[in-house]
């Protein structure tokens, strides 16, 4: 099940470049205006994105009557509360180690690919556990 979920997620990511452009473009404008963000500012930006996605997902399902909680499970597993924010924390940690810039960029980029995808699977598993306990 986790492998199929990961495969579908990877296929979906290939179509998400518009969101990526909007997210990074907005970030570039903020950096141009305020300079490079500190950890709290970067996490605030990431949390804002997660919050916006969560609100959108919640409101699109509000008031729907379903025979099961599949939609609630989908919302919980797609908000990406861990997978979107953890790579930022790992990248910040790599920066704090004062490694050479190339290695720091390598760790930052690798953490996005690895942690986003693997933690998305974990979020799916957590959502399923919560669904079973309800």
Q: Which has the minimum average pLDDT: 2-11, 26-35, 58-67?
A: 58-67
Give the residue with greater pLDDT, 82 vs 40.
Answer: 40
Do the Cβ atoms of 123 and 7 come closer than 8 Å? no
Check residue 102 and give its pLDDT. 93
pLDDT in tens, 93-117: 999 999 998 999 889 889 888 888 8
> Which residues touch 2 (CB under 8 Å, ≥6 apart)?
121, 124, 125
Asked if the model's pLDDT at residue 125 lies above 90, the reply is no
Asked if the model's pLDDT at residue 131 lies above 90, the reply is no
Mean pLDDT of 27-44: 90
Backbone angles phi, psi at 38, to 5 degrees: -80, 180
The residue behind tokens 């997620």 is 9
Distance of alpha carbon 20 from alpha carbon 13, whole angstroms: 10
């Amino acid at each position: 099940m986790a492998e199929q979920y990961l495969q579908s997620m990877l296929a979906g990511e290939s179509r998400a470049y518009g969101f990526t452009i909007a997210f990074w473009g907005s970030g570039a404008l903020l950096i141009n205006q305020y300079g490079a963000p500190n950890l709290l500012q970067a996490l605030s930006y990431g949390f804002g994105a997660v919050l916006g996605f969560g609100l959108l997902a919640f409101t699109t399902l509000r008031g729907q009557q379903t025979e099961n909680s599949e939609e609630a499970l989908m919302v919980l597993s797609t908000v990406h509360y861990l997978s979107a924010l953890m790579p930022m924390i790992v990248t910040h940690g790599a920066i704090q180690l004062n490694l050479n810039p190339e290695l720091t960029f390598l760790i930052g980029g690798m953490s996005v690919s690895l942690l986003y995808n693997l933690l998305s699977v974990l979020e799916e598993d957590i959502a399923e556990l919560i669904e079973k306990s309800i």
